[in-house]
Structure 1
Amino acid sequence: MDSLTQIILGAAVGEAVLGKKVGNKAMLYGAIAGTIPDLDVFIGKLFDTVTALEIHRGFTHSVFFAIVLGWFFGWLISLYEKDASTKEWAQLMFWGFLTHPILDAHTTWGTQLFWPLDIRLAFKNIFVIDPLYTLPFLVFLLMAMFQPKGNIKRRKYNNLGLIVSSSYMLLTIIIKGITYSKFTQALKEQKITYKEIETKPTPFNTILWSANVETEDAYLIGYYSFFDTKPIEFYSYPKNHHLLSKYSNYTSVKRLIKITKGWYTISEKNNLLYLNDLRFGLLSAAPNFQQFVFSFEITKKNNKLVINEVPRNSEKATQLLKDFWVRIQGN
């Protein structure tokens, strides 16, 4: 999830663990704990594109990290914060570290919660930024923050924030199940034979959902809004995996394909190859749109294979929001 949401969750967890004893300090250190796991983004900048992708939501988003670093930071905090024990500070940091990747596991990218095992949990039931999850949570946290330490209203408001946000998360799982059945029923009615299907919400909402559908030679992408009145349309994107054959033996290419979980297409433009990660969708909901959110340029320079992520610009992001807002309203 986005940084603000993780800060709010961390602060609320900190309050739940130690707020009664140390007041707003619990929120402060909880917010810090909710931020630290995402420092892997800055660590990734020290490495090549593929390695950075592998590092993201890996070690720092694991149970191992929460246990070991939770105790370390708990000990560190206890050196100058004497109103709670080392064990209590360690518990606060542990839960702050652990709830961060648990929340991230509900997004499309997922988390390597059981690092070093190569298992990345990704339930894909909520977008990385969802105002309906974050804003009510923030309101209850602020209400709790301005209550005196030990006041029963403080714990009540904080618990309400945790309950409301968790209930919404549960609702997104139910919604995902409903939309999954809508997509599979549409495929059945249209007599489309497929190997696999994955579904996910589109940006900032849980009303409009998209589906990636694998067929023999292509991937189909379709959208379903709860306001739709017409059948779901699926648009075909050829796999073109054969275009990558000359680079298929390179370790970095194999690693990148592994990151995509096999959900990728290859496109060619100006004699350059691009690997498009389908898991994060397109930069528009317009029919047959060709630009993907995550695309990687593959080239050879000085007999060395180079992989770079294609940058996204703010104009495209603005257009994406406009397109999805129109599509949310129904087909």
Structure 2
Amino acid sequence: MDSLTQVALGAAVTVAVMGRRTAVWKSALWGAVAGTLPDLDALIDHGDAVLNMVLHRGESHALFYLTLFAPLMAWLVARLHGEGALWRRWWLALWLALVTHPLLDTMTVYGTQLLLPFTNHPYGVGSVFIIDPLYTVPLLIGLVLALRTPLAVGLKANAAGLLLSSAYLVWSVLVQQHVELVARDSLQRQGIAADAVLVTPAPFNTVLWRVVAMTDTEYVEGYHSLLDNPPVIEWHRFDRGAELAAAHGDVEGLRRLAAFTHGFYSVHEHDGRLFVTDLRMGQEPSYIFRFDLGTMTERAHGPVAAQLSGERMDMRAGLQWLWPRLLGQPLPPPGLNLP
């Protein structure tokens, strides 16, 4: 999730656990720090764009390592504030602030390696967008009230914010499962034999959902809003570059991205250069994570550092499309060239 959300979650969790035992501002401050720390791995440049992607949310997001770090951080905080008697409580509070960060990240589609060093599998539920005000705003309101109102009222408001935000996550998973059923039924009715189906929310909401389904030779993309009437998904077909993927399966960047995306990727060539695209984040034709893996000649002389060559959708056009499509109007995504 975005940095503001992680700060708010870490602070709210720590305030809830520490309660009346210390000043609310101390709990909020150190919870915010703990909620931010795992994302510092984004500052590391591995010299390769694909590596930067697949190694983000790695060790710094692993529950095992965060659990080992929590008592040290708690000892430092307790010693700094002269609250040695509260060390165990700080330990619990900061551990929860640390581990809820990757657990929340796992609700997005990106991929979080929660169980390192035991497995590097990237877990991703994909039921919430990376920025969703309906999740974040209750946390912020509860936290502000905890800092600005009488203690009893503030702690109740903070707890209510955590409860509402958690309920929203449950809602997102339930709706995701419903949309997947609608999508699979639509695929079957239209004779599309899909090997895998991905259901993720459109930006900033859990009413409009994007669906990607992979076949042997292509992928199809469609949208479903809970307000669609009738609930029929219109699919648009695209070549996935299966032959290119098979021919270049030994290219490290392609191999890594294929595993990291759980197969939701496409491959194409342009001017002799090989490109691989993560189909999970973005929408046709704009994808953030598209990588240039170089030419065959370049790769023959040794490993080629992947370069990021993705593009973002025009924000104004995207927002102009988002709201009416969310309300059930059957509009094609902006920028999509339809025959």
TM-score (norm 2): 0.89
Residue 221 of structure 1: aligned partner: 221
How much has 1:93 moved relative to structure 2?
Answer: 1.6
How much has 1:15 moved relative to structure 2?
Answer: 0.3
- For 1:157-196, what per-residue CA distance to the aligned partner results, in whole angstroms no more than 9, with x for missing partners? 1110111111111111111121111111211222222222
Question: Conserved in 2, the CA contact under 8 Å of 1:13 and 1:92?
Answer: yes
Residue 285 of structure 1: aligned partner: none
Residue 311 of structure 2: aligned partner: 312
Pick aligned residue for 2:125 from 117, 123, 134: 123
- For 1:211-235, what per-residue CA distance to the aligned partner results, in whole angstroms no more than 9, with x for missing partners? 1111121111111112222521111
- 1:129-148 alignment, distance < 5 Å: 129-148=131-150
The change in CA–CA distance for 1:312 and 1:19 in structure 2 (over 3 A counts) is farther
Question: Conserved in 1, the CA contact under 8 Å of 2:62 and 2:102?
Answer: yes
Residue 337 of structure 2: aligned partner: none
Structure 1 position 291 matched with structure 2 position 286: yes
Question: Conserved in 1, the CA contact under 8 Å of 2:127 and 2:172?
Answer: yes
Tell me, what secondary structure is at the counterpart of 1:122?
coil
Question: Conserved in 1, the CA contact under 8 Å of 2:269 and 2:275?
Answer: yes
Distance in 2 (alpha carbons) for counterparts of 1:310 and 1:72: 41
Residue 179 of structure 2: aligned partner: 179
- For 1:271-323, what per-residue CA distance to the aligned partner results, in whole angstroms no more than 9, with x for missing partners? 322111111131xxxxxx4332321112044824231111435x723333333
Distance in 2 (alpha carbons) for counterparts of 1:82 and 1:180: 53
- For 1:20-71, what per-residue CA distance to the aligned partner results, in whole angstroms no more than 9, with x for missing partners? 111220111001100000111012x244222212221111111112211111
Residue 19 of structure 1: aligned partner: 19
The change in CA–CA distance for 1:252 and 1:292 in structure 2 (over 3 A counts) is closer
Structure 1 position 329 matched with structure 2 position 323: no
Distance in 1 (alpha carbons) for counterparts of 2:28 and 2:19: 7
Distance in 1 (alpha carbons) for counterparts of 2:311 and 2:21: 46
The unaligned stretches of length 5 or more in structure 1 are: 283-288
Tell me, what secondary structure is at the counterpart of 1:211?
strand
How much has 1:17 moved relative to structure 2?
Answer: 1.4
- 1:241-260 alignment, distance < 5 Å: 241-244=242-245, 247-260=248-261
Residue 76 of structure 2: aligned partner: 76
How much has 1:146 moved relative to structure 2?
Answer: 1.2
- The CA RMSD measured in Å over matched residues stands at 1.9
Which runs of at least 4 in structure 1 moved beyond 4 Å after TM superposition?
none
Tell me, what secondary structure is at the counterpart of 1:7?
helix
Question: After alignment, is 189-198 or 29-38 more displaced?
Answer: 189-198
- 1:161-240 alignment, distance < 5 Å: 161-230=161-230, 231-240=232-241
Counterpart residue type for residue 327 of structure 1: R
Question: Conserved in 1, the CA contact under 8 Å of 2:50 and 2:291?
Answer: no
- 1:91-110 alignment, distance < 5 Å: 91-110=92-111
Tell me, what secondary structure is at the counterpart of 1:68?
helix
Question: Conserved in 2, the CA contact under 8 Å of 1:19 and 1:27?
Answer: no
Aligned residues: 321
Question: Conserved in 2, the CA contact under 8 Å of 1:19 and 1:25?
Answer: no
Residue 7 of structure 2: aligned partner: 7
Tell me, what secondary structure is at the counterpart of 2:80?
coil
- For 1:52-108, what per-residue CA distance to the aligned partner results, in whole angstroms no more than 9, with x for missing partners? 122211111111122111112112222311135332322222111011111111100
Question: After alignment, is 214-223 or 295-304 more displaced?
Answer: 295-304
Distance in 1 (alpha carbons) for counterparts of 2:198 and 2:78: 46
Residue 59 of structure 1: aligned partner: 59
Question: Conserved in 1, the CA contact under 8 Å of 2:291 and 2:310?
Answer: no
Distance in 1 (alpha carbons) for counterparts of 2:190 and 2:242: 26
Counterpart residue type for residue 113 of structure 2: Q
Distance in 2 (alpha carbons) for counterparts of 1:279 and 1:321: 19
Tell me, what secondary structure is at the counterpart of 2:289?
strand
Distance in 2 (alpha carbons) for counterparts of 1:137 and 1:57: 23
State percent identity of aligned pairs.
Answer: 32
Distance in 1 (alpha carbons) for counterparts of 2:228 and 2:274: 36
Counterpart residue type for residue 202 of structure 1: A
Question: After alignment, is 70-79 or 158-167 more displaced?
Answer: 70-79
Distance in 1 (alpha carbons) for counterparts of 2:186 and 2:19: 50
Counterpart residue type for residue 125 of structure 1: S
